[in-house]
Amino acid sequence: MSRAARWYAVGTRSRHEQVAADDLAARVEQVFLPKVKALSRRKDRRVLYDKVLFPGYVFVRAHMTREGRVSVLRARGVARILGNEHGPYPCADHEIESIRILVDASADMDLVPALPRGRLVLVVEGPFKGVVGRVIEDRGRRRIVCSIDLLGRAVSVHLEREALEPLPEDPRIMPGAVTGV
């Protein structure tokens, strides 16, 4: 019996995220390499480029059977699949979808270390509608942090208090939230 396709974080060799994503595209159901626009400072000018949001990681939606794991691990640029002694550990679908919404909206994002869990919220209005995350205080302003706990990293954006709706702490109970396919 094969497992259902789930999202997994795949560790890559240093600066090999795109190489791994390209090779994995032919091996798995879906590949997601989140990138954001960033300015690079050169001696004589500034250059806009696509910056990998989570350096060293690519996300794949795959069936992690024994054969599926071997196929992923044999892809160029792949170093490991994140997991524990029981095997690969899946990411929550809503976490991946929330990051996808933020990247697609071209949000002004900061990469921050994972923070202690705050209140689970759903964004109910604006360009980030449907994003699920945790709220932290930041100098008197509200921030939403969409955390991928498996990586120990998070993405944060500024939001108005009126755009947030508290959710129950059970992630299976999320009325109106964006979930994975």
CATH number of the domain that residue 103 is part of: 2.30.30.30
Element (H, E) at 19: helix 17-24
Residue 136, token pair as written in the block: 């932290």
Q: In terms of domains, do 47 and 71 share one?
A: yes
How many of the other CB atoms lie within 10 Å of CB of 88?
20
40 within a domain of the structure (yes/no):
yes
Average pLDDT value for the chain: 82
The domain boundary residue, chosen from 91, 125, 151: 91
- Domain span at 110: 93-166
How many domains does the chain divide into?
2
Burial class (CB in 10 A: 0-12, 13-18, 19+), 9: buried
For residues 35 and 106, the answer to whether their CB atoms sit within 8 Å is: no
Q: In terms of domains, do 120 and 80 share one?
A: no
Angstrom distance (rounded) from CA 46 to CA 115: 32
181 within a domain of the structure (yes/no):
no
Angstrom distance (rounded) from CA 5 to CA 88: 12
Q: In terms of domains, do 81 and 60 share one?
A: yes
Q: In terms of domains, do 56 and 101 share one?
A: no
The domain boundary residue, chosen from 91, 113, 135: 91
Angstrom distance (rounded) from CA 29 to CA 72: 11
pLDDT tens digits, one per residue of 80-92 = 999 998 899 999 9
pLDDT tens digits, one per residue of 146-175 = 766 667 787 877 777 777 788 876 655 555
Q: Which residues of the chain have pLDDT under 70?
A: 1-3, 107-117, 137-143, 147-150, 169-181
128 within a domain of the structure (yes/no):
yes
* 114 phi and psi angles, rounded to 5 deg: -60, 140
174 within a domain of the structure (yes/no):
no
